Amino acid sequence: MKAASIAELKKELLRLDHSDLLDACLRLARFKKDNKELLTYLLFLAHDEQGFVNSLCKEIDEQFALTPNAHKKTVRKVIRWMNKCLRFTKVKDSEVQVRLHFCEVLRSSDTAIESSKVMTNMYTGQLKKIRTVVEKLHEDVQREVEREVQKLEL
């Protein structure tokens, strides 16, 4: 089965009445965990963006607290989880805050970033993602975040 385009889906969703739309959303949530997580974000967390950011930062802290000397596998797992959660939000400032927090926690942990090429690449990859997102923000925020990133550079 070939999937319809976003524009076609949008037109069809606009035609549906409230109960059919509700049914479609619930069926979508049953099929994949990611859909359910996105729906949870949209319904319960989107109105409190700072609370969402704080919960992500807290979870990052907990993951690094479990393994103070994080290995490549652990760091990759945290990055995958973080990327998945950050896809839910459209607020770029939130993404920058969470990625900066991740870099700060990784840098302050007992993990030897400089001794492993893979760890160095993962760390610098996060800094690159921060810089990419910051380009879309206001100039004042850009300068402030750039100072933070310079402090975190290896």
13 and 67 assigned to the same domain: no
23: containing domain: 6-44
Question: Is residue 1, in this structure, part of any structural domain at all?
Answer: no
What is the predicted pLDDT for the residue at 5? 92
99 and 38 assigned to the same domain: no
How many C-beta atoms lie closer than 10 Å to residue 83's C-beta?
A: 14
128 and 63 assigned to the same domain: yes
58 and 132 assigned to the same domain: yes
Q: Which of 149, 142, 42, 140 is nearest to 99 (CA)?
A: 149
What is the predicted pLDDT for the residue at 86? 95
What is the predicted pLDDT for the residue at 101? 95
What is the C-alpha separation between 147 and 30, in angstroms, rounded?
44
What is the predicted pLDDT for the residue at 151? 86
13 and 75 assigned to the same domain: no
Question: Would you write out the chain's pLDDT as a tens digit for each of its 154 residues?
Answer: 888 899 998 999 999 999 999 999 999 899 999 999 999 999 999 999 999 999 999 999 999 888 877 788 989 999 999 999 999 999 999 999 999 999 999 988 877 788 889 999 999 999 999 999 998 888 888 888 888 888 888 6
Looking at the structure of the chain, the number of domains it has is 2
In this structure, is the dihedral angle defined by the CA atoms of residues 58, 103, 45 and 83, taken in order, positive or negative? negative
Q: Which of 62, 66, 98 is nearest to 83 (CA)?
A: 98
What is the predicted pLDDT for the residue at 114? 84
